[in-house]
Every structure is written in structure tokens, then in C-alpha cells.
Amino acid sequence: MPTTHRVPVSWLKEHASASIKLRTVTDVLPTGAASEADLAALRADVLASKSVLQTLKKQRKNGTWGDNLLGIAANRATGIKDVGTVAQYRHLMELGAPRGDRAFRLVERIFYRELSRDDDPELLFEHKAAAKRNPHLVTYARNLFREGAAAALANAGLIEDPRVRGAAHKIASDVSAFLRSELSEKPVVKVGSRFVLDPAACPPTIFSVAMFAYMPNLQRERAGFVERLCHFLAQPAPRKKWVMAVGKKVIPPQFHLLGNPIEVARGNTTADLPLALYWIELLARLQMLHTSEAAQKVLHHTLSECDEHGVWAPKNLRSLPKSPSRLADFWFPLETDGKTLEHRQADVTFRLAHIAKLAGWQLEYA
């Protein structure tokens, strides 16, 4: 892997969205690279941007979006009308919206209630109706909602809040017990014609991994666990489709991970570049990028598509990269206008620079 990376600051300043410009200053450039006046102007541009305004406009009076917590897309079959609260909140964080506004405080109250395992049936959101007939679903939903809420709050920087830290250590302990058990070697069993996750298994989820990635103090306190986790996630995921049996309900593993989530195609490309880059960023935050061969291959190939200035310039880029899994839709893109080539290049250009910064590479600013 390379140890240096060129950041095209002038190019991003000219072509990128307000959010990418702000994130470049706050997350990639050295501290003090912009004056307080410049930062204030950038933050004002972000708050006035179409992406932020549209997201805030869809928020309900109780602080939620879409009347669901974890939905990543609308789903008429399950009654999910819009992307859920965790994804919308994290999208605002990624856009660079400041979290001091009342809109954020409203949703954070709900997240903290999820951390406390509040037994109010209304907090079951998208599982509320089905949980009335399936008590097992209550436990499943509350555990997963707690992870989603903890990931969102950690993403927002609330990593020293004792409620977030307490939930994080509990989640880490549960996953650690799974990784140390024999179940981690064979977590899926055949039941009839289906392959089903063992009910006693507690594998990591895309939410719990994100939560750990945003909490450096927890990483230091539980360094052995983080290493075991990343080595588990570097192994190939099961090829056969599997499900989770929650009471009599069968649930597909949308968020649960039994191995590497990145599918690498010929030439070290991937059909889900947004998810791959998001996963690479999480590994870089965990200081564990070296554990995943798949992540390194995709990153190396994507970097090879950059020009001499550090601008991502793949051949025949006719549209913004899409995420078939939609797991990274909250994270990518930060530039929604894909009409020009430069706008289509800006997101990945910024993400590669940010990954390089997180990985500790030497940055050359141009």
C-alpha cells in the first residue's frame, strides 16, 4: 500500500459541493488551515444546501424520519415509507451539519432511550406491529436498535457520554463472547432447506463495527477484541444464503456480518464502490486496514485511477457510483449533482484523501 497521497485542495475548492469543501477543511487539511470566518461561511453554505434542507424538511415532529429507525430505503411491503432515522441523522453528520440544532436534540432523545432499553412499545418502530405477535422479535429489535443508536451517537462525536460508552462496552462484550466461542467457526446451521444463524450467535453488525471505529478510546481499552474482530471480518463471508429465525419470523441478514462485506471482482474492482470505501474508512479508523486483503485490493485499484493531482479519474465515468446494497447511501454521495464530470469525481476524490489521512499516510496538498 502507498504511504503518501496527493490531495487536490484547489480542485476540490473549485468543483466540490459545500459539504465536501467543509469536510476537506475539517477532516483532511491541517488544523488551522482555514480561518474562523472561512469556516463559518462554509458551515452556512452547508446549512443552506439542498441536501441538508431536504433532509431536515422530511423530519417528523417527534424527531424521526419515515416512522422507522433502521430502514435504508422505502419498502412498501413492510410499510417503510422512507429512509430511517439512523441513516438520516448520520447523513446530516456526513454532510457537515452542526448538531446543536433542536432537530438533532429531538432525535438524540430517542437514541438515548434506545440505549437505555426503554420498553415503550412505540420505540419498536418498524417492528411494532409484528412484535405484538412475536415476543422474540422484541428482543431482536431492541438489540439491533441499540447498536444503530450507539453508532449514530458515536458518529456524531458523543463518544465520552457515559450512556454511549456503557452501551458500547456491553455490545463489545457480547460480540467478543461470540468471537471467542466455537460458534464463530460455524455460526450457520442447516435447518430443513434453509441455512440459519444459530440463535446463540451474536455476530458483529455494520452498526457495531461503525460504533467501535468512531471510539478510539474503546479501541485502546479493548485492543485484543478489536484485533480479533477485524481478523474475523477479513475472512470470506459464507457463499450460501442464510437467514435469521426470530421466533416464527425469518429475517434476511441485512446488517449482520459473518465475514468480509466487500465483493472483489476481476481487476480488483467492485460493484459496490460506496460500500467498499465506507468499509475501508472504518478499517482505517480501527487502524486495521492491513487485516483485509479485499479492502487493500479495492483501495489500491481505486487509487490507481487517480491522476497526477490526486483527482479520481476513472474511464467512462457517466454517473455517480451507486450502492446496490444501499448500506452506504447515508455516507455517499455528498455531492448529489452528477451532471458534470467534476461533480461525479468529487466524492471519491475526497473520500480517498480522508482515508489516507485516517491511515496515517503523508499528505501532499496541491
The residue type at 25 = V
The residue type at 228 = R
Specify the pLDDT at position 337: 84
* Cα–Cα distance measured from residue 102 to residue 60, given in angstroms and rounded to the nearest whole number: 12
Specify the pLDDT at position 77: 67
Specify the pLDDT at position 73: 87
Could you tell me which residues are beta bridge partners of residue 365?
Answer: 7
- Helix/strand/coil (H, E, C) string of 137-178? HHHHHHHHHHHHHHHHHHHCCCCCCHHHHHHHHHHHHHHHHH
In the chain, the percentage of residues whose pLDDT exceeds 70 is 99
* Cα–Cα distance measured from residue 277 to residue 354, given in angstroms and rounded to the nearest whole number: 10
Tell whether the model's pLDDT for residue 299 goes beyond 90.
Answer: yes
Residue 325: CB partners within 8 Å, gap ≥ 6? 261, 272, 275
Tell whether the model's pLDDT for residue 67 goes beyond 90.
Answer: no
What's the mean per-residue pLDDT of the chain? 95
What integer is the mean pLDDT of 51-65?
Answer: 94
Residue 216 — pLDDT band, cuts 50, 70, 90?
very high
Specify the pLDDT at position 1: 74
Specify the pLDDT at position 363: 97
Specify the pLDDT at position 232: 98
- Span 271-292, pLDDT tens digits: 999 999 999 999 999 999 999 9
- Span 319-362, pLDDT tens digits: 999 999 999 999 999 998 888 999 999 999 999 999 999 999 99
Tell whether the model's pLDDT for residue 2 goes beyond 80.
Answer: no
∠ CA 33-37-43, nearest 5°, is 90
Specify the pLDDT at position 212: 98
Residue 75 — pLDDT band, cuts 50, 70, 90?
confident
* Cα–Cα distance measured from residue 172 to residue 297, given in angstroms and rounded to the nearest whole number: 28
pTM for the structure as a whole: 0.97
Helix (H, G, I), strand (E, B) or coil at 314: coil
- Span 120-152, pLDDT tens digits: 999 999 999 999 999 999 999 999 999 999 999
